[in-house]
Amino acid sequence: MSRTLGGAVLALIFAGSAGSGLLATRNQSQTPGAQEQSSEAAATEALTSGLKRLERAGQIGPENPTQARREYEAALEDLQMAPASSEAIRYRAEAYLGLNRLTDAKQAYMHLFVHDRTASNVLMKTMKTWVEKHRARPAGSDSAAIDAFDAWVRERDALASAVVNLGHNSPDWK
């Protein structure tokens, strides 16, 4: 298994078990390739830490935007160190949304749309929720930026719906 694929698989496994507090680590002195395992373990720890910080940031109320921003930034740093799995990219996009880094969130969505439609659909729902939340409480957000992002989200959602049947399983595929 390649280092990248191994890291991505490991990250997905640990992402599923992160909520239950299960973090398995290998004894590096007993197995060959200890450096590879060490980097996988570090990526797993970064992913787990980033998910916890992302959750904490989402729980901080609107009365403390500075603390929320610090948590989103810390989560983003951790998630950038995690492997390039779809889960890590999706969570990173959520951190971008929390920081109002809409261009970065769009890029993450486009990557997921090409590589993992299921993850892109989940992120699309998150982006729609972000728009609704910021329309209800626009404090700290530029209304023109919210409008532009909303238009982009609606356009991408329509495109995603239009191409859903264009895959190789479609009866029109030749």
Count Cβ neighbours within 10 Å for each residue of 127-163 and write b for 16 or more, e otherwise. Answer: beebbeebeeeeeebeeeebeebbebbeebeeeeeee
pLDDT over threshold 50, residue 4 = no
- Look at residue 116 and tell me if it is in a domain: yes
Determine, yes or no, domain membership for 171.
Answer: no
Q: For 116, which DSSP code?
A: -
Residue 172 domain-assigned (yes or no): no
Residue 12 domain-assigned (yes or no): yes
Please give the share of the chain, as a percent, with pLDDT higher than 70: 70
Instruction: Report yes or no: 69 and 101 within 8 Å, Cβ to Cβ.
Output: no
For residues 58-69, give the mean pLDDT: 88
45: in domain: yes
174: in domain = no
Query: What domain range is 154 assigned to?
Result: 3-22+37-163
Q: Residue 170 domain-assigned?
A: no
Whether 27 maps to a domain, the answer reads no
99 three-class SS: coil
The count of structural domains within the chain is: 1
Is 97:126 a contact under the CB 8 Å cutoff?
A: yes
Sign of the CA dihedral with 129 first, then 130, 131, and 135 last: positive
* 144 CB-near residues (< 8 Å, 6+ apart): none
Tokens of 98: 């929390």
Residue 103 has pLDDT above 70, yes or no: yes
Supply angle C-alpha 121, 122, 123, rounded to 5: 90
Please check the confidence at residue 29 and state whether its pLDDT lies above 60. Answer: no
